């Protein structure tokens, strides 16, 4: 099955946008820029809308998810919207009791730790994704020529939350399961790949013009473990997009050691964290990949001249790749002054008064 004729990539709305062109390897006149976690707590209008409400409930309320997705586009003039949701949404929709605790992240009261816990995981009923489909459809309707990026968590990062029961420092319980019971591990990662793959596919089918896989915690793995015990499942998650001609992006923290493996995932662009310069990343990745990144989030509080010099350096190093999409090296910290983000967008877009 391919994209429908009325999909924004097919009907002409987003195919020529700077973001889609850059993901596909071109260098548009305007360098595209967006921010991971641009929809969220750095925006007063987000905090107002969300006040007191449950995070995952907000994700599953189409009017709210759509409005939050649009807020940063209106305010900053970024080159893409990213769908307001969370990596654990498909896990919740498959019946796992997960919630999001402010300041911590996803938490499970009953973690998935044993072979019998894994066997209890049920498949995701496609109908459960209807609120996601509706929110995406409604959002792209409003976005016009600005592309929406759909996203999902990679199987390893999701499994890390499921096994640990919450955020963890180096995913020791998850990695122990991987080592002590590889069979159960493989079953768990396949389950994660399928629910997250279905979630990603639903967003693309409903109108997302790009798809990003977040493997935030993959940096805790050795290269060998990644290759043998994780990569095949990330590939399986992305395989859910088969037949849909949409640019694909991979992002993780501390991924430079596994860049050579990431190039085999079949993505078009690779997100780079703040630890490795983009020209070094491009040298490892080669000419077939667009790089995305990598303004250090820690620089967002620096005086403008220092931040500007840092952005210049990022732009300069980004020239080493076939194309470049500007982003942060990780998500926007909640305490960020939103005006700084707006200024970065205007500066990257070459608006002269933003430079002073
Ligand atoms: O703007 C966007 O980027 C789109 C929405 C988005 C959210 N989470 C919303 C959110 C995206 C793409 C994610 C991905 C996500 N979620 C990742 C991968 C990216 C990364 O940051 O590494 C991970 C690991 C999660 C799991 C998760 N969910 C965490 C770590 C947290 C933060 C906990 C906290 O309070 O610090 C969440 C909750 C979450 N997801 C919030 C938002 C806006 C904050 C919820 C709130 O308003 O309190």
Going from the C-alpha of 241 to that of each of 46, 196, 234, 288, the distances in angstroms are 31, 11, 12, 20
pTM comes to 0.97
Determine the pLDDT at residue 250. Answer: 98
Residues lining ligand 1, Cβ inside 6 A = 36-41, 50, 55, 82, 84-87, 100, 102-106, 151, 157, 214, 216, 331
Please check the confidence at residue 355 and state whether its pLDDT lies above 90: no
Query: Which whole number is the average pLDDT over 335-342?
Result: 98
Determine the pLDDT at residue 1. Answer: 79
Tokens, residue 354:
């933003």
Atom of ligand 1 nearest to the CA of 40: 43
Q: Output the CA 96–ligand 1 centroid distance in Å.
A: 18
Atom of ligand 1 nearest to the CA of 153: 18
CB 89 within 8 A of CB 131: no
**Catalytic hit among 86, 215, 268, 273:** 86
Query: Which whole number is the average pLDDT over 320-336?
Result: 97
**Catalytic hit among 37, 133, 236, 275:** 37
Query: Which whole number is the average pLDDT over 140-150?
Result: 98
Sign of CA dihedral 6, 12, 16, 21: positive
Q: Whose CA is nearest to atom 42 of ligand 1?
A: 40
pLDDT in tens, 208-260: 999 999 999 999 999 999 999 999 999 999 999 999 999 999 999 999 999 99
Atom of ligand 1 nearest to the CA of 38: 1
Atom of ligand 1 nearest to the CA of 82: 4
Q: Output the CA 341–ligand 1 centroid distance in Å.
A: 18
Tokens, residue 3:
């994209």
**Catalytic hit among 46, 75, 113, 161:** 161
**Average pLDDT along the chain:** 97
Check if 86 is active-site: yes
How many C-beta neighbours within 10 Å does residue 275 have? Answer: 16
Query: Which whole number is the average pLDDT over 143-171?
Result: 97
């Amino acid at each position: 099955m391919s994209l429908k004729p009325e999909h924004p990539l097919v009907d002409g709305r987003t195919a020529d946008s700077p973001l889609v062109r850059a993901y596909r390897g071109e260098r548009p006149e305007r360098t595209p820029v967006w921010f991971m976690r641009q929809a969220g707590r750095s925006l007063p209008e987000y905090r107002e809308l969300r006040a007191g409400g449950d995070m995952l409930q907000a994700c599953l309320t189409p009017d709210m998810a759509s409005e939050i997705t649009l807020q940063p586009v209106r305010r900053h003039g970024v080159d893409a919207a990213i769908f307001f949701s969370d990596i654990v949404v498909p896990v919740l929709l498959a019946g796992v009791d997960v919630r999001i605790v402010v300041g911590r992240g996803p938490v499970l009261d009953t973690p998935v730790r044993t072979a019998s816990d894994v066997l209890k995981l049920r498949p995701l009923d496609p109908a459960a994704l209807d609120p996601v489909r509706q929110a995406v459809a409604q959002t792209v309707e409003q976005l016009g020529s600005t592309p929406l990026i759909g996203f999902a968590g990679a199987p390893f990062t999701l499994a890390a939350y499921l096994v640990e029961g919450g955020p963890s420092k180096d995913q020791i319980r998850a990695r122990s399961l991987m080592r002590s019971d590889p069979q159960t591990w493989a079953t768990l990662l396949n389950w994660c790949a399928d629910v997250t793959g279905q979630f990603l596919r639903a967003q693309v089918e409903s109108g997302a013009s790009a798809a990003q896989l977040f493997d935030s915690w993959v940096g805790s793995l050795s290269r060998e473990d990644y290759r043998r015990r994780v990569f095949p499942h990330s590939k399986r998650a992305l395989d859910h997009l088969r037949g849909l001609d949409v640019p694909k992006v991979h992002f993780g923290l501390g991924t430079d050691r596994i860049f050579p493996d990431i190039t085999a995932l079949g993505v078009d662009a690779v997100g780079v964290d703040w630890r490795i310069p983009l020209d070094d990343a491009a040298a490892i990745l080669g000419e077939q990949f667009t790089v995305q990144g990598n303004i250090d989030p820690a620089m967002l509080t620096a005086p403008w001249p220092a931040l500007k010099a840092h952005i210049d350096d990022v732009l300069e190093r980004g020239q080493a790749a076939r194309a470049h999409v500007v982003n942060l090296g990780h998500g926007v910290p909640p305490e960020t002054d939103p005006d700084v983000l707006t200024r970065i967008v205007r500066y990257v877009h070459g608006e002269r008064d933003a430079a002073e």
